[in-house]
Structure 1
Amino acid sequence: MRFLMLVTVDPDLAGTVDGDPTAWVNETTAKGQRLEGDRLRPVSDATTLWPKDGGGTFVSDGPFAETKEQIAGYDVIECADLDEAVEVAAKHPVARFGAIELRPVWE
């Protein structure tokens, strides 16, 4: 099963905790669990699209939700089941000070 990991952090905490995922990336890639992933640019570079009344699309700067926590990156992992995905995600360094949302990919 493939899972999308949304790595979410409070930007005020991100620089205060050792959150370098290099070892996690190397280990999970070597095991064939991590298929891809990357950091995301800051929310100041985000663009959100909304449907306009009467048709068309409204484009706005910034993130969809106004929250302190921000999606900082993503990973796609391959695991046998949710239990294994939780085990893999729990070892990500951001799991110590941020949140990681796991979502199964439709297959």
Structure 2
Amino acid sequence: MRYLCMIFATAEQMSVLSPGELRDFVNAHLDYDDQLRASGQLVASEGLEAARTAAVVRVRNGKLSVTDGPFVETNEQLGGFYLVEAANEEEAVRLAAGIPSARVGSIEVRPVVVWEGKP
């Protein structure tokens, strides 16, 4: 079963990292990617640009609305994700705990919906 592990952190949590610590942090993620890929459990992983670069798209009554920036005012912002294959939620949580960002922010783990008739 697939699980989406969403990485959340505040700007403050990330701002305390020195340039060297940030480099090590990114490299730890890349190393974890390699580990999950080797085990066959990594489907995809990506980091995201800052929430200030976001565009929020809505269509209401056929009318397009685009707003710059994040949708909601919140301290924690989505910074990236891992899409993993896991036998169950317990294993998905174990995999999420290995994501280096779990030591700085938080990881939300959700099962991916499999629609009837879809792989």
TM-score, normalising length: structure 2: 0.81
- 5+ residue gaps, structure 1, are none
- The CA distance in 2 between the partners of 1:94 and 1:57, in whole Å, is 35
Which one of 100, 103, 111 corresponds to residue 93 of structure 1?
Answer: 100
- The CA distance in 1 between the partners of 2:43 and 2:86, in whole Å, is 10
1:59 equivalent in alignment to 2:59: no
- The CA distance in 2 between the partners of 1:16 and 1:42, in whole Å, is 16
Q: How does 1:2-41 map to 2 (within 5 A)?
A: 2-17=2-17, 18=21, 19-20=25-26, 21-41=29-49
Which structure has greater helix proportion? 2
Moved over 6 A (4+): none
- 5+ residue gaps, structure 2, are 115-119
For these two proteins, the number of residue pairs brought into alignment is 106
- The CA distance in 2 between the partners of 1:78 and 1:100, in whole Å, is 16
Deviations 1:72-95 (A, max 9, x none): 111110000000000000011111
For 2:85, the equivalent position in structure 1 comes to 78
For 1:102, the equivalent position in structure 2 comes to 109
